[in-house]
Structure 1
Amino acid sequence: METELERIAAKARCEPKLRFTSLAHHITRERVQRSLFRIPQRSAAGVDGQTVKAAKECFGEWIEPMLQSIHRQGYRAPAVRRVYIPKPGKTEKRPLGVPTVSDRALQRSTAEVLSAIYEEDFLPCSFGGRPQLSAHHALATLNEAIAGGLTGWVLEADLKNFLDPLS
Protein backbone atom coordinates (compact mmCIF):
# COMPACT_ATOMS: atom_id res chain seq x y z
CA MET A 1 0.00 0.00 0.00
CA GLU A 2 1.39 3.40 -0.86
CA THR A 3 2.16 6.09 1.71
CA GLU A 4 -0.97 8.16 1.06
CA LEU A 5 -3.27 5.20 1.63
CA GLU A 6 -1.18 4.08 4.61
CA ARG A 7 -1.83 7.47 6.23
CA ILE A 8 -5.57 7.10 5.61
CA ALA A 9 -5.51 3.57 7.08
CA ALA A 10 -3.54 4.75 10.13
CA LYS A 11 -6.03 7.56 10.73
CA ALA A 12 -8.95 5.12 10.44
CA ARG A 13 -7.21 2.72 12.83
CA CYS A 14 -6.33 5.38 15.44
CA GLU A 15 -9.65 7.22 15.29
CA PRO A 16 -12.41 4.61 14.74
CA LYS A 17 -15.20 7.16 15.24
CA LEU A 18 -13.77 9.52 12.61
CA ARG A 19 -15.95 10.11 9.56
CA PHE A 20 -14.09 10.85 6.36
CA THR A 21 -16.03 13.59 4.59
CA SER A 22 -14.09 13.97 1.36
CA LEU A 23 -12.02 11.37 -0.41
CA ALA A 24 -12.38 12.56 -4.02
CA HIS A 25 -8.92 14.16 -3.99
CA HIS A 26 -7.45 10.67 -3.54
CA ILE A 27 -8.91 9.60 -6.89
CA THR A 28 -6.06 10.81 -9.04
CA ARG A 29 -5.00 10.45 -12.64
CA GLU A 30 -2.14 8.15 -11.58
CA ARG A 31 -4.37 5.94 -9.41
CA VAL A 32 -6.94 5.50 -12.20
CA GLN A 33 -4.18 4.78 -14.70
CA ARG A 34 -2.65 2.11 -12.43
CA SER A 35 -6.11 0.56 -12.04
CA LEU A 36 -6.64 0.64 -15.80
CA PHE A 37 -3.38 -1.19 -16.40
CA ARG A 38 -4.45 -3.93 -13.94
CA ILE A 39 -7.58 -4.73 -15.99
CA PRO A 40 -6.88 -7.85 -18.08
CA GLN A 41 -6.54 -7.17 -21.83
CA ARG A 42 -9.17 -9.78 -22.68
CA SER A 43 -11.84 -8.10 -20.53
CA ALA A 44 -15.15 -7.44 -22.22
CA ALA A 45 -16.07 -3.99 -23.45
CA GLY A 46 -18.98 -2.07 -21.95
CA VAL A 47 -21.90 -0.37 -23.71
CA ASP A 48 -19.49 2.04 -25.43
CA GLY A 49 -17.67 -0.84 -27.16
CA GLN A 50 -14.27 0.42 -25.99
CA THR A 51 -11.71 -2.32 -25.36
CA VAL A 52 -9.05 -2.22 -22.66
CA LYS A 53 -6.39 -1.59 -25.31
CA ALA A 54 -8.35 1.35 -26.76
CA ALA A 55 -9.00 2.81 -23.28
CA LYS A 56 -5.27 2.73 -22.54
CA GLU A 57 -4.43 4.36 -25.87
CA CYS A 58 -6.84 7.27 -25.41
CA PHE A 59 -6.46 7.58 -21.61
CA GLY A 60 -5.46 11.25 -21.87
CA GLU A 61 -8.72 12.08 -23.66
CA TRP A 62 -11.17 10.69 -21.11
CA ILE A 63 -9.40 10.93 -17.76
CA GLU A 64 -9.53 14.70 -17.22
CA PRO A 65 -13.27 15.11 -17.93
CA MET A 66 -13.94 12.11 -15.67
CA LEU A 67 -11.84 13.52 -12.80
CA GLN A 68 -13.39 16.97 -13.16
CA SER A 69 -16.90 15.52 -12.91
CA ILE A 70 -15.87 13.50 -9.84
CA HIS A 71 -14.36 16.50 -8.09
CA ARG A 72 -17.42 18.66 -8.73
CA GLN A 73 -19.63 15.75 -7.57
CA GLY A 74 -21.34 15.45 -10.93
CA TYR A 75 -20.04 12.08 -12.13
CA ARG A 76 -22.66 9.76 -13.55
CA ALA A 77 -21.58 6.23 -14.33
CA PRO A 78 -22.28 5.12 -17.90
CA ALA A 79 -24.94 2.49 -18.49
CA VAL A 80 -23.92 -1.10 -17.80
CA ARG A 81 -24.11 -3.67 -20.59
CA ARG A 82 -26.28 -6.60 -19.44
CA VAL A 83 -25.36 -10.09 -20.61
CA TYR A 84 -26.69 -13.44 -19.50
CA ILE A 85 -24.24 -16.26 -18.96
CA PRO A 86 -25.19 -19.92 -18.54
CA LYS A 87 -25.08 -21.45 -15.06
CA PRO A 88 -22.97 -24.64 -15.08
CA GLY A 89 -25.17 -27.73 -15.34
CA LYS A 90 -28.41 -25.73 -15.48
CA THR A 91 -30.69 -24.24 -18.10
CA GLU A 92 -30.96 -20.97 -16.15
CA LYS A 93 -28.80 -18.01 -17.04
CA ARG A 94 -27.09 -15.63 -14.63
CA PRO A 95 -27.33 -11.88 -15.33
CA LEU A 96 -23.98 -10.14 -15.52
CA GLY A 97 -23.38 -6.39 -15.74
CA VAL A 98 -20.38 -5.21 -17.74
CA PRO A 99 -19.35 -1.60 -16.98
CA THR A 100 -17.30 0.42 -19.44
CA VAL A 101 -13.54 -0.05 -19.13
CA SER A 102 -13.03 3.54 -17.94
CA ASP A 103 -15.71 3.14 -15.28
CA ARG A 104 -14.14 -0.15 -14.17
CA ALA A 105 -10.80 1.62 -13.70
CA LEU A 106 -12.54 4.32 -11.65
CA GLN A 107 -14.39 1.72 -9.56
CA ARG A 108 -11.12 -0.07 -8.78
CA SER A 109 -9.47 3.21 -7.80
CA THR A 110 -12.36 4.13 -5.53
CA ALA A 111 -12.37 0.66 -3.95
CA GLU A 112 -8.64 1.00 -3.26
CA VAL A 113 -9.17 4.25 -1.36
CA LEU A 114 -12.20 2.95 0.55
CA SER A 115 -10.42 -0.31 1.41
CA ALA A 116 -7.72 1.65 3.20
CA ILE A 117 -10.41 2.90 5.57
CA TYR A 118 -12.69 -0.10 5.94
CA GLU A 119 -10.00 -2.77 6.20
CA GLU A 120 -9.32 -1.37 9.67
CA ASP A 121 -12.87 -2.27 10.77
CA PHE A 122 -13.00 -5.86 9.53
CA LEU A 123 -12.53 -8.79 11.85
CA PRO A 124 -9.97 -11.45 10.94
CA CYS A 125 -12.87 -13.85 10.28
CA SER A 126 -14.37 -11.59 7.55
CA PHE A 127 -13.51 -12.73 4.04
CA GLY A 128 -16.09 -11.45 1.54
CA GLY A 129 -14.81 -9.04 -1.08
CA ARG A 130 -11.57 -8.23 0.71
CA PRO A 131 -8.22 -7.80 -1.05
CA GLN A 132 -5.98 -10.88 -0.94
CA LEU A 133 -8.72 -12.97 0.72
CA SER A 134 -10.88 -15.44 -1.15
CA ALA A 135 -13.48 -18.11 -0.55
CA HIS A 136 -10.56 -20.56 -0.32
CA HIS A 137 -9.18 -18.64 2.68
CA ALA A 138 -12.62 -18.74 4.32
CA LEU A 139 -12.90 -22.50 3.77
CA ALA A 140 -9.40 -23.11 5.14
CA THR A 141 -10.22 -21.08 8.27
CA LEU A 142 -13.52 -22.91 8.68
CA ASN A 143 -11.77 -26.25 8.27
CA GLU A 144 -9.24 -25.31 10.97
CA ALA A 145 -12.00 -24.25 13.37
CA ILE A 146 -13.99 -27.45 12.82
CA ALA A 147 -10.95 -29.76 12.95
CA GLY A 148 -9.65 -27.99 16.05
CA GLY A 149 -12.90 -28.65 17.89
CA LEU A 150 -13.67 -24.95 18.33
CA THR A 151 -17.25 -25.38 17.20
CA GLY A 152 -20.10 -27.69 18.08
CA TRP A 153 -22.26 -27.23 14.99
CA VAL A 154 -22.22 -26.02 11.38
CA LEU A 155 -25.08 -24.23 9.64
CA GLU A 156 -25.45 -24.39 5.88
CA ALA A 157 -27.78 -22.01 4.06
CA ASP A 158 -28.65 -21.97 0.38
CA LEU A 159 -29.30 -18.41 -0.72
CA LYS A 160 -30.47 -19.32 -4.21
CA ASN A 161 -31.75 -16.28 -6.10
CA PHE A 162 -31.42 -14.21 -2.91
CA LEU A 163 -30.39 -11.05 -4.76
CA ASP A 164 -32.75 -11.48 -7.73
CA PRO A 165 -35.45 -9.16 -6.30
CA LEU A 166 -32.89 -6.32 -6.28
CA SER A 167 -32.23 -6.44 -10.03
Structure 2
Amino acid sequence: MEKYLQPLKQKLMEGTYQPQPVKRVAIPKPDGSKRYLGIPCVLDRVVQQAILQVIELIIDPYFSENSFGFRKGKNAHQAIKLAERYYQEGYRVVVDCDLKSYFDTIHHQRVRAYLEEFISDKIVLKLIWKFLRSGILDKDIYIETTEGAPQGGPLSPILANVYLNNLDRELEKRGHRFIRYADDFVIYVKSKRAGERVMDSVASYIEKDLGLVINQKKSTVCGATSATFLGFNIHNLMGKSVADQVSRQNNDLKIN
Protein backbone atom coordinates (compact mmCIF):
# COMPACT_ATOMS: atom_id res chain seq x y z
CA MET A 1 0.00 0.00 0.00
CA GLU A 2 2.84 2.38 0.86
CA LYS A 3 4.30 2.09 -2.63
CA TYR A 4 1.03 3.50 -4.01
CA LEU A 5 0.47 6.16 -1.36
CA GLN A 6 3.90 7.76 -1.52
CA PRO A 7 3.76 8.64 -5.26
CA LEU A 8 0.16 9.84 -4.75
CA LYS A 9 1.23 12.09 -1.88
CA GLN A 10 4.06 13.48 -4.00
CA LYS A 11 1.75 14.31 -6.90
CA LEU A 12 -0.79 15.95 -4.59
CA MET A 13 1.88 18.11 -2.93
CA GLU A 14 3.34 19.13 -6.29
CA GLY A 15 -0.07 19.84 -7.76
CA THR A 16 0.51 17.40 -10.61
CA TYR A 17 -2.20 14.87 -9.73
CA GLN A 18 -4.63 14.45 -12.63
CA PRO A 19 -8.05 12.90 -11.93
CA GLN A 20 -9.57 10.44 -14.40
CA PRO A 21 -12.91 11.06 -16.14
CA VAL A 22 -15.88 9.76 -14.16
CA LYS A 23 -17.85 6.82 -15.53
CA ARG A 24 -21.44 7.66 -16.43
CA VAL A 25 -23.99 5.23 -15.01
CA ALA A 26 -27.73 5.44 -15.76
CA ILE A 27 -30.16 4.73 -12.91
CA PRO A 28 -33.80 4.07 -13.95
CA LYS A 29 -36.44 6.26 -12.26
CA PRO A 30 -40.01 5.18 -11.44
CA ASP A 31 -41.45 7.41 -14.18
CA GLY A 32 -39.36 5.67 -16.84
CA SER A 33 -36.71 8.38 -17.16
CA LYS A 34 -33.11 7.99 -16.03
CA ARG A 35 -30.88 9.66 -13.49
CA TYR A 36 -27.21 9.81 -14.40
CA LEU A 37 -24.38 9.35 -11.92
CA GLY A 38 -20.68 10.06 -12.43
CA ILE A 39 -18.67 7.36 -10.67
CA PRO A 40 -14.98 8.20 -10.02
CA CYS A 41 -12.27 5.54 -10.11
CA VAL A 42 -11.12 4.11 -6.76
CA LEU A 43 -8.05 6.36 -6.45
CA ASP A 44 -9.99 9.50 -7.31
CA ARG A 45 -12.65 8.53 -4.79
CA VAL A 46 -9.97 8.19 -2.09
CA VAL A 47 -8.56 11.62 -2.93
CA GLN A 48 -12.02 13.21 -3.01
CA GLN A 49 -12.86 11.70 0.36
CA ALA A 50 -9.63 13.05 1.85
CA ILE A 51 -10.41 16.53 0.52
CA LEU A 52 -13.95 16.31 1.87
CA GLN A 53 -12.78 15.43 5.37
CA VAL A 54 -10.66 18.57 5.44
CA ILE A 55 -12.96 21.14 3.82
CA GLU A 56 -16.15 19.93 5.48
CA LEU A 57 -14.84 20.97 8.90
CA ILE A 58 -14.07 24.44 7.54
CA ILE A 59 -17.20 25.05 5.48
CA ASP A 60 -20.10 23.35 7.26
CA PRO A 61 -20.29 25.77 10.24
CA TYR A 62 -21.15 28.54 7.76
CA PHE A 63 -24.13 26.68 6.31
CA SER A 64 -27.68 27.67 7.20
CA GLU A 65 -29.55 25.90 10.00
CA ASN A 66 -32.32 25.46 7.43
CA SER A 67 -30.10 23.31 5.19
CA PHE A 68 -30.51 19.60 5.99
CA GLY A 69 -29.09 17.62 3.07
CA PHE A 70 -25.70 15.83 3.08
CA ARG A 71 -24.68 17.26 6.46
CA LYS A 72 -23.53 15.48 9.60
CA GLY A 73 -26.15 15.73 12.33
CA LYS A 74 -28.85 16.79 9.87
CA ASN A 75 -31.53 14.62 8.27
CA ALA A 76 -34.86 14.57 6.46
CA HIS A 77 -36.88 13.99 9.64
CA GLN A 78 -35.52 17.22 11.13
CA ALA A 79 -36.52 19.03 7.94
CA ILE A 80 -40.05 17.66 8.22
CA LYS A 81 -40.24 18.73 11.86
CA LEU A 82 -39.41 22.27 10.78
CA ALA A 83 -42.11 22.08 8.11
CA GLU A 84 -44.58 21.03 10.80
CA ARG A 85 -43.54 24.00 12.94
CA TYR A 86 -44.09 26.45 10.09
CA TYR A 87 -47.50 24.90 9.50
CA GLN A 88 -48.43 25.20 13.18
CA GLU A 89 -47.39 28.87 13.10
CA GLY A 90 -49.88 29.54 10.31
CA TYR A 91 -47.61 29.39 7.27
CA ARG A 92 -49.78 27.07 5.23
CA VAL A 93 -48.93 27.93 1.65
CA VAL A 94 -45.87 26.33 0.06
CA VAL A 95 -43.66 27.84 -2.63
CA ASP A 96 -41.82 25.05 -4.44
CA CYS A 97 -39.17 26.22 -6.94
CA ASP A 98 -37.87 23.21 -8.83
CA LEU A 99 -34.28 23.48 -10.09
CA LYS A 100 -33.88 21.89 -13.49
CA SER A 101 -30.99 19.36 -13.66
CA TYR A 102 -29.27 21.13 -10.77
CA PHE A 103 -26.19 18.93 -10.32
CA ASP A 104 -25.55 18.98 -14.07
CA THR A 105 -25.77 22.77 -14.36
CA ILE A 106 -23.61 23.99 -11.48
CA HIS A 107 -21.50 26.84 -12.87
CA HIS A 108 -17.81 25.99 -12.40
CA GLN A 109 -16.49 29.54 -12.19
CA ARG A 110 -19.13 30.50 -9.65
CA VAL A 111 -18.61 27.48 -7.42
CA ARG A 112 -14.86 28.14 -7.43
CA ALA A 113 -15.48 31.74 -6.36
CA TYR A 114 -17.82 30.55 -3.60
CA LEU A 115 -15.22 28.03 -2.39
CA GLU A 116 -12.61 30.79 -2.20
CA GLU A 117 -14.73 32.46 0.48
CA PHE A 118 -13.92 29.53 2.77
CA ILE A 119 -10.69 27.96 1.48
CA SER A 120 -7.39 29.76 0.94
CA ASP A 121 -5.22 26.74 0.09
CA LYS A 122 -4.47 27.07 -3.64
CA ILE A 123 -3.44 23.42 -3.99
CA VAL A 124 -6.81 22.23 -2.67
CA LEU A 125 -8.73 24.70 -4.82
CA LYS A 126 -6.78 23.68 -7.92
CA LEU A 127 -7.41 19.99 -7.22
CA ILE A 128 -11.16 20.52 -6.80
CA TRP A 129 -11.13 22.43 -10.09
CA LYS A 130 -9.41 19.49 -11.78
CA PHE A 131 -12.12 17.14 -10.53
CA LEU A 132 -14.82 19.45 -11.87
CA ARG A 133 -13.14 19.56 -15.30
CA SER A 134 -12.03 15.92 -15.48
CA GLY A 135 -14.73 14.91 -17.94
CA ILE A 136 -17.14 12.00 -18.30
CA LEU A 137 -16.77 8.61 -19.97
CA ASP A 138 -20.04 7.43 -21.47
CA LYS A 139 -19.60 4.01 -23.09
CA ASP A 140 -15.95 4.81 -23.87
CA ILE A 141 -16.88 8.19 -25.36
CA TYR A 142 -15.17 11.13 -23.62
CA ILE A 143 -17.38 14.13 -22.81
CA GLU A 144 -15.77 17.38 -21.72
CA THR A 145 -17.24 18.94 -18.57
CA THR A 146 -17.59 22.71 -18.61
CA GLU A 147 -20.37 22.78 -16.01
CA GLY A 148 -21.93 20.50 -13.42
CA ALA A 149 -20.78 18.35 -10.50
CA PRO A 150 -22.00 14.83 -11.36
CA GLN A 151 -23.63 12.92 -8.52
CA GLY A 152 -21.70 9.86 -7.47
CA GLY A 153 -18.46 11.26 -6.04
CA PRO A 154 -17.76 12.30 -2.42
CA LEU A 155 -17.25 15.99 -3.31
CA SER A 156 -20.46 16.50 -5.27
CA PRO A 157 -22.82 16.97 -2.27
CA ILE A 158 -20.71 19.59 -0.48
CA LEU A 159 -20.12 21.50 -3.73
CA ALA A 160 -23.89 21.50 -4.26
CA ASN A 161 -24.39 22.89 -0.75
CA VAL A 162 -21.67 25.52 -1.18
CA TYR A 163 -23.38 26.75 -4.33
CA LEU A 164 -26.87 26.94 -2.81
CA ASN A 165 -25.57 28.43 0.44
CA ASN A 166 -25.88 31.73 -1.41
CA LEU A 167 -29.58 31.04 -1.92
CA ASP A 168 -29.93 30.27 1.79
CA ARG A 169 -28.27 33.57 2.69
CA GLU A 170 -30.60 35.46 0.38
CA LEU A 171 -33.72 33.78 1.78
CA GLU A 172 -32.57 34.48 5.33
CA LYS A 173 -31.88 38.12 4.45
CA ARG A 174 -35.44 38.40 3.14
CA GLY A 175 -36.83 36.84 6.32
CA HIS A 176 -38.37 33.83 4.58
CA ARG A 177 -39.30 30.62 6.37
CA PHE A 178 -37.71 27.95 4.24
CA ILE A 179 -36.30 24.44 4.25
CA ARG A 180 -33.63 23.11 1.91
CA TYR A 181 -32.45 19.54 1.44
CA ALA A 182 -29.75 19.57 -1.27
CA ASP A 183 -31.51 20.93 -4.38
CA ASP A 184 -35.02 20.42 -2.94
CA PHE A 185 -36.30 23.51 -1.18
CA VAL A 186 -39.62 25.00 -0.16
CA ILE A 187 -40.66 28.35 1.29
CA TYR A 188 -43.63 28.69 3.64
CA VAL A 189 -45.86 31.77 3.45
CA LYS A 190 -49.33 32.72 4.74
CA SER A 191 -51.25 33.36 1.53
CA LYS A 192 -51.40 32.31 -2.10
CA ARG A 193 -50.88 35.92 -3.17
CA ALA A 194 -47.74 36.23 -1.05
CA GLY A 195 -46.56 32.89 -2.42
CA GLU A 196 -46.88 34.05 -6.01
CA ARG A 197 -44.87 37.20 -5.25
CA VAL A 198 -42.18 35.14 -3.52
CA MET A 199 -42.08 32.65 -6.39
CA ASP A 200 -41.47 35.40 -8.96
CA SER A 201 -38.85 37.15 -6.84
CA VAL A 202 -36.92 34.03 -5.80
CA ALA A 203 -37.04 32.50 -9.29
CA SER A 204 -35.59 35.73 -10.68
CA TYR A 205 -32.75 35.66 -8.13
CA ILE A 206 -31.96 32.00 -8.86
CA GLU A 207 -31.76 32.54 -12.60
CA LYS A 208 -30.01 35.93 -12.66
CA ASP A 209 -27.69 35.70 -9.65
CA LEU A 210 -26.97 31.97 -9.48
CA GLY A 211 -27.17 31.15 -13.18
CA LEU A 212 -29.49 28.19 -12.61
CA VAL A 213 -32.64 27.21 -14.49
CA ILE A 214 -36.11 26.96 -12.97
CA ASN A 215 -38.32 24.11 -14.16
CA GLN A 216 -41.54 26.03 -14.72
CA LYS A 217 -43.65 22.90 -15.17
CA LYS A 218 -42.67 21.50 -11.77
CA SER A 219 -42.56 24.75 -9.81
CA THR A 220 -45.76 25.69 -8.02
CA VAL A 221 -47.49 27.57 -5.23
CA CYS A 222 -50.02 25.47 -3.34
CA GLY A 223 -51.56 24.77 0.03
CA ALA A 224 -49.35 22.82 2.41
CA THR A 225 -52.01 20.11 2.62
CA SER A 226 -51.51 19.41 -1.10
CA ALA A 227 -47.72 19.43 -1.08
CA THR A 228 -45.13 16.74 -0.56
CA PHE A 229 -41.53 17.38 0.39
CA LEU A 230 -38.86 14.67 0.68
CA GLY A 231 -41.57 12.04 0.31
CA PHE A 232 -43.71 13.40 3.15
CA ASN A 233 -47.18 14.92 3.04
CA ILE A 234 -47.93 17.63 5.59
CA HIS A 235 -51.62 17.81 6.52
CA ASN A 236 -53.85 18.95 9.33
CA LEU A 237 -55.35 16.23 11.51
CA MET A 238 -57.49 17.06 14.58
CA GLY A 239 -55.92 20.50 14.79
CA LYS A 240 -52.39 19.16 14.85
CA SER A 241 -49.92 19.19 11.97
CA VAL A 242 -48.77 15.69 11.07
CA ALA A 243 -46.19 14.37 8.61
CA ASP A 244 -47.35 11.27 6.74
CA GLN A 245 -44.74 9.45 4.73
CA VAL A 246 -45.65 9.21 1.09
CA SER A 247 -43.89 6.93 -1.34
CA ARG A 248 -41.51 8.79 -3.64
CA GLN A 249 -42.84 6.53 -6.36
CA ASN A 250 -46.40 7.86 -6.03
CA ASN A 251 -46.13 10.65 -8.58
CA ASP A 252 -49.82 11.54 -8.25
CA LEU A 253 -49.16 12.93 -4.78
CA LYS A 254 -46.02 14.85 -5.65
CA ILE A 255 -45.90 18.51 -6.55
CA ASN A 256 -45.60 18.58 -10.33
TM-score by length of 2: 0.37
1:64 positional shift: 1.7
Does the aligned pair in 1 maintain the 2:68–2:76 contact within 8 Å? Answer: yes
Does the residue aligned with 1:97 lie in a helix, a strand or coil? strand
Out of 107, 112, 117, which is 2:53 matched to? 112
Counterpart pick for 1:158 among 80, 87, 98: 98
**What letter matches 2:28 in structure 1?**
P
How big is each residue's C-alpha offset from its partner over 1:106-131, in whole Å with a ceiling of 9 and x where there is no partner? 21121111011112212322223322
Amino acid at match of 2:70: G
Separation in structure 2 between the aligned mates of residue 71 and residue 150 of structure 1, nearest angstrom: 55
Alignment of 1:51-62 (within 5 A): 59-62=1-4
1:130 and 2:65 matched: no
Per the alignment, residue 13 of structure 2 pairs with 71
Write the letter of the residue equivalent to 1:125. Answer: N
Residues 60, 96 of structure 1: alpha-carbon distance in 2 compared, 3 angstrom cutoff: same
**How much does 1:160 deviate?**
4.3
Tell me, which stretches of 5 or more residues in structure 1 are unaligned?
Answer: 1-58
Counterpart CA distance in 2 for 1:150 and 1:100 is 49
What SS does the aligned partner of 2:7 have?
helix
Other structure's SS at 2:24 match: strand
Matches within 5 A, 1:8-157: 59-87=1-29, 89-147=30-88, 149=89, 151=91, 153-157=93-97
Please state how far the C-alpha of 1:86 moved relative to its aligned partner.
0.4
2:12 partner amino acid: I
Counterpart of 1:82, as a letter, is R
Listed as ranges, the gaps of 5+ residues in structure 2 are 106-146, 149-256
Residue 135 of structure 1: how far off its partner (Å):
3.0
Cα shift readout 1:38-72 (whole Å, capped 9, x = no counterpart) = xxxxxxxxxxxxxxxxxxxxx33322222111111
Question: Match for 2:10: what amino acid?
Answer: Q
Letter in 1 for 2:95: L
Letter in 1 for 2:75: S
